[in-house]
Chain A
Amino acid sequence: MSAAMVFGLCAAVAVGLGLYGVITNPQPLRKILAFNLLGSGVFLLFGVIARRGAAAGFGGDPIPQALVITGIVVAFSATALAIALLLRLFQATGSATLRADAPPGAGSDPSRP
């Protein structure tokens, strides 16, 4: 058993945990959190594949490593946008629920004075 394999199994479990969190957590912020967990597991799989491709004196295949760096930055952008949407929903309705039949909250929309 090698280090790459240990972390590969770790990545698989992280993806599973993230997926479970996305489905079962009712709070949207927790879903975003779980989605990031899922994503980091996928990135880690890239890292394992990169490590297995270590050659030419490099610690790993630099191509998947570079893809992960780009991926982390894109995941951050998506998270920032998702959080801005969520905060706007909370501002507009006074509640951050995703349920379609939720009663309207006590919050007020600051864009409507």
Chain B
Amino acid sequence: MTFASMSFALALEIVLAAVVLTGAVWTVASRETLPAVAGFVAYGLLLSLVWVRLGAPDVALTEAAIGSGLTGALLVGAAARLRSGEEQIVMERPGMVLRVLATMLSTTVAAALAASVLLLPDPAPTLAPAAAENAVATSLGNPVTNVLMAFRAMDTMLEKIVLLLALIGVWSLTPDRFWGGRPGPRHHADPQGVLAFVARVLPPVGIIVGIYILWTSADHPGGAFQGGTILAAMWLLVMMAGLADTPPVSERRPRLLLLAGPMVFLIVGLGGLAFGDAFLAYPMAYAKLLILTIEFAMILTIAVTLGLLVAGPPERECGS
């Protein structure tokens, strides 16, 4: 690479960082909530470009799909519902003293982090060679999938359980008389309208893309989270267009899907304990098969869990 093209790339990166930070400032400083949420979504999408520049396309996909997309959908929904109470709370702006103190504290924290970034050790410590060395054990080409599904599979399993616990937490906020009912409002859209049309045309494509992103993650960027998020988005689209209703939380089928991922993960893990060396140890000959089994159970669980987390606690009785 010549010096000129290198400095051009660097200039581009500085501009990107500046635009990302503009989004961050907008998110914090905007007076109204909905524009702030819009700023946050834009910030998240630009941030996924940063992740691409940092050589982390798997993280870029996750940030765009979950960090920006799904979180944005949640925040927009909440902002719209809380609008009527907003005026009153905006009046509670903290006094000058607190704002000055907060500025001092956050500047100190940012400066300390910036200093530690500048003082990072050189050469940087890395586990990449170890990940490359052990890649033969799973015959997967994507190192991030290897880490998520094999080398640190315990984290991924516990994360599935965190998702489930969050959903249990959300459901436990149900008002007593709606327990067992359907989450969220029933959406109605013009059956001849654009939304209903998109909700009929897009899901078949989206489902294929979601499954492809999981399948390709063996050797290329992708994974069960990213694919599962796309499936969840397709489901949410169909529900928002009023073509399908959210399932009652007492129904057995969605509950089985919620448990499928963690259960398969746990069974494979215990199998490793019984027949192999350790919990979640895959026998080398079956490693890829076992990982794919877990991932396909997981993508269903992730899609259903994410969809239900966005839908929120039940607020209608079963029939309505």
Question: Does A27 contact B13, Cβ atoms closer than 8 Å?
Answer: no
Question: Does A17 contact B13, Cβ atoms closer than 8 Å?
Answer: no
Task: Pull 6 A–B residue pairs with CB atoms less than 8 Å apart, ordered by A.
Answer: A7-B50, A9-B114, A16-B110, A23-B94, A24-B98, A86-B82
Interchain CB contact (< 8 A) of B173 among A18, A61, A85: A85
Question: Does B129 contact A78, Cβ atoms closer than 8 Å?
Answer: no
Chain B residues close to A by CB (< 8 Å): 9-10, 13-14, 17, 20-21, 24-25, 27-28, 33, 36-37, 40, 43-44, 47, 50-51, 53-59, 62-63, 66-67, 70-71, 74-75, 78-79, 81-82, 85-86, 88-90, 92-94, 98-99, 102-103, 105-107, 109-111, 113-114, 117-118, 120, 124-129, 131-133, 143-144, 146-148, 151-152, 155-156, 159, 162-163, 165-166, 169-170, 173, 175-178, 223, 225, 306, 309-310, 312-313, 315
Hey, which chain A residues are within 8 Å of B102, CB to CB? 19-20, 23-24
Number of chain A residues whose Cβ lies closer than 8 Å to a Cβ of chain B: 88
Hey, which chain A residues are within 8 Å of B133, CB to CB? 56
- Give Cα A15–Cα B115 distance, bound, in whole angstroms: 13
Hey, which chain B residues are within 8 Å of A57, CB to CB? 132
Chain A residues close to B by CB (< 8 Å): 1-21, 23-27, 29-30, 32-34, 36-37, 40, 43-45, 47-63, 65-70, 72-81, 83-88, 90-91, 94-97, 99, 105, 109-111, 113
Question: Does A63 contact B117, Cβ atoms closer than 8 Å?
Answer: no
Question: Does B17 contact A7, Cβ atoms closer than 8 Å?
Answer: yes
Query: Could you tell me the dominant secondary structure of chain A's interface residues?
Result: helix
Question: Does B90 contact A36, Cβ atoms closer than 8 Å?
Answer: no
Question: Does B120 contact A12, Cβ atoms closer than 8 Å?
Answer: no
Question: Does B99 contact A24, Cβ atoms closer than 8 Å?
Answer: yes
- Give Cα A97–Cα B88 distance, bound, in whole angstroms: 8
With A17-B106, A54-B55, A62-B146 already in contact, 7 other A-B pairs whose C-beta atoms are closer than 8 Å: A1-B10, A8-B117, A8-B120, A53-B125, A70-B148, A72-B63, A78-B166
Question: Does B85 contact A96, Cβ atoms closer than 8 Å?
Answer: yes
- Give Cα A49–Cα B68 distance, bound, in whole angstroms: 22
Hey, which chain B residues are within 8 Å of A72, CB to CB? 59, 62-63, 66-67
* Cβ of A85 to closest chain B Cβ, rounded Å: 7
* Cβ of A106 to closest chain B Cβ, rounded Å: 10
Closest 3 A-B residue pairs measured CB to CB?
Answer: A59-B55, A16-B110, A53-B126
